[in-house]
Structure 1
Amino acid sequence: MKDTLPQQHRTREHLPWHRVLMAEDIDVVVVGGGQAGLATSHELSARGVEHVVLEATTPGSSWLGRWDSFTLVGPNHTVTLPGAHYRGDDPDGFMTRTEIADHLQRYAGRLGAEVRTGTPVHRLTPFGDPADPSHPTGRGGRGKRGYRLDTDGGTIRSRAAVIATGAYQQPLRPAVLTGLSPDIAVLDVATYRNPAGLPDGSVLVVGSGQSACQIAEELALAGRDVVMACGRAPWFYRRLEDRDLFDWLISAGFFEQRPHELASPAARHGANVQASGARGGHDLHYRTLAALGVRLTGHLAGVADRTAYLKPDLTETIAAGDAGFRLVSGAVARACAREGRPLPEIPPPTALATDAPTELDLHGFGAVVVACGFRSRYAEWIDVPGIVDEQGFPVHDDGESTVAPGLHFVGVHFLRRRRSSLLFGVGDDATATAARIASQV
Structure 2
Amino acid sequence: MRADVDVLVIGAGQAGLAVSHELTAEGVEHVVLEGESVGSAWASRWDSFTLVTPNRFIRMPGGEYRGPDASGFLPRDAVVAHLRRYADSFGAPVEEDRPVTALRPGRDGGFEAETPLGGILARRVVVATGAYQHEYRPAWARELARRVPVLGSSEYRSPADVPGEGRGAVLVAGGGQSAVQLTDELYAAGRDVVLAAGSAPAIPRRIGGRDTVEWLEAIGFYEQVIEAQPSPTVRFASNPLVTGAQGGHDLNLRTLADEGVHLCGRVLGVDGDRVVVADDLAASVAKGDAGYRLAWQAAATASAEWDLPAPPPLPPESPPPAAVEPPHLDRIAAVLVACGYRPDYGWIEVDGLVDEQGFPLQEGGRSLRAPGLWFVGVPWMTCRKSPLLMGVGEDATAIARELAAA
Q: TM-score range by the shorter chain?
A: over 0.9
For residues 86-132 of structure 1, give each alpha carbon's deviation from its aligned partner in whole angstroms, at most 9, with x where no partner exists: 1111111111110000111111112244211111000000123xxxx
SS of residue matched to 2:285: helix
CA distance in 2, matches of 1:195, 1:305: 28
Counterpart selection for 2:103 from 124, 141, 165: 124
Counterpart selection for 2:392 from 420, 426, 429: 426
Do structure 1's residue 413 and structure 2's residue 379 form an aligned pair? yes
- Counterparts in 2 of 1:346 and 1:65: CA distance versus 1, 3 Å: farther
For residues 59-93 of structure 1, give each alpha carbon's deviation from its aligned partner in whole angstroms, at most 9, with x where no partner exists: 11111100010000011111111111111111111
CA distance in 1, matches of 2:282, 2:24: 53
For residues 364-396 of structure 1, give each alpha carbon's deviation from its aligned partner in whole angstroms, at most 9, with x where no partner exists: 212111111111111x20111221111221110
Q: Which residue of 1 aligns with 2:157?
A: 193
> Greater shift after overlay, 74-83 or 362-371?
362-371
Cα distance, 1:359 vs. partner? Answer: 5.2
SS of residue matched to 2:250: coil
CA distance in 2, matches of 1:428, 1:363: 51
Q: Is the 8 A contact 2:3 2:123 kept in 1?
A: no
Counterpart selection for 1:247 from 214, 226, 245: 214
Do structure 1's residue 171 and structure 2's residue 150 form an aligned pair? no
SS of residue matched to 1:124: strand
CA distance in 1, matches of 2:271, 2:405: 57
For residues 20-46 of structure 1, give each alpha carbon's deviation from its aligned partner in whole angstroms, at most 9, with x where no partner exists: xx9862110000001000000001111
- Counterparts in 2 of 1:23 and 1:206: CA distance versus 1, 3 Å: farther
For residues 315-360 of structure 1, give each alpha carbon's deviation from its aligned partner in whole angstroms, at most 9, with x where no partner exists: 2221122222222223223322332223202423532444324654
CA distance in 2, matches of 1:145, 1:152: 22
Do structure 1's residue 151 and structure 2's residue 115 form an aligned pair? yes
Counterpart selection for 1:65 from 22, 32, 44: 44
- Counterparts in 2 of 1:346 and 1:268: CA distance versus 1, 3 Å: farther
- Counterparts in 2 of 1:229 and 1:158: CA distance versus 1, 3 Å: same
Q: Letter of the 2:123 partner, please give it.
A: R
Normalised by the size of structure 1, how large is the TM-score?
A: 0.88
Q: Structure 2, unaligned stretches of length 5 or more?
A: none
CA distance in 2, matches of 1:196, 1:304: 29
Q: Which residue of 2 aligns with 1:336?
A: 303
Q: Which residue of 2 aligns with 1:32?
A: 11
Cα distance, 1:267 vs. partner? Answer: 1.3
SS of residue matched to 1:159: strand
Do structure 1's residue 227 and structure 2's residue 189 form an aligned pair? no
SS of residue matched to 2:137: coil
- Counterparts in 2 of 1:175 and 1:305: CA distance versus 1, 3 Å: same
- Counterparts in 2 of 1:337 and 1:404: CA distance versus 1, 3 Å: farther
For residues 158-177 of structure 1, give each alpha carbon's deviation from its aligned partner in whole angstroms, at most 9, with x where no partner exists: 11100001113211111222
Q: Letter of the 1:348 partner, please give it.
A: P
Cα distance, 1:305 vs. partner? Answer: 5.4
CA distance in 2, matches of 1:220, 1:67: 16
CA distance in 1, matches of 2:358, 2:374: 15
CA distance in 2, matches of 1:196, 1:265: 38
* Larger-gyration structure (1/2): 1
CA distance in 2, matches of 1:305, 1:125: 47
SS of residue matched to 1:350: coil
CA distance in 1, matches of 2:124, 2:235: 27
Counterpart selection for 1:317 from 284, 287, 308: 284
CA distance in 2, matches of 1:407, 1:181: 40
SS of residue matched to 1:218: helix
Do structure 1's residue 393 and structure 2's residue 359 form an aligned pair? yes
Q: Is the 8 A contact 2:17 2:92 kept in 1?
A: no
CA distance in 1, matches of 2:313, 2:14: 35
CA distance in 2, matches of 1:191, 1:23: 42
SS of residue matched to 1:157: strand
Counterpart selection for 1:84 from 60, 63, 69: 63
CA distance in 1, matches of 2:2, 2:147: 49
Normalised by the size of structure 2, how large is the TM-score?
A: 0.95
Q: Is the 8 A contact 2:18 2:393 kept in 1?
A: yes
SS of residue matched to 2:171: strand
Do structure 1's residue 51 and structure 2's residue 17 form an aligned pair? no
SS of residue matched to 1:381: coil
Q: Is the 8 A contact 2:254 2:320 kept in 1?
A: no
SS of residue matched to 1:87: coil
Q: Which residue of 1 aligns with 2:266?
A: 299
CA distance in 2, matches of 1:330, 1:240: 10
Q: Letter of the 2:224 partner, please give it.
A: Q
Q: Is the 8 A contact 2:50 2:74 kept in 1?
A: yes
- Counterparts in 2 of 1:121 and 1:245: CA distance versus 1, 3 Å: same
Q: Which residue of 1 aligns with 2:248?
A: 281
> Greater shift after overlay, 422-431 or 22-31?
22-31
CA distance in 2, matches of 1:24, 1:432: 24
Q: Name the % identity.
A: 49
CA distance in 2, matches of 1:325, 1:113: 41
Cα distance, 1:362 vs. partner? Answer: 2.4
Counterpart selection for 2:349 from 383, 390, 413: 383
CA distance in 2, matches of 1:116, 1:296: 46
- Aligned residue pairs, count: 403
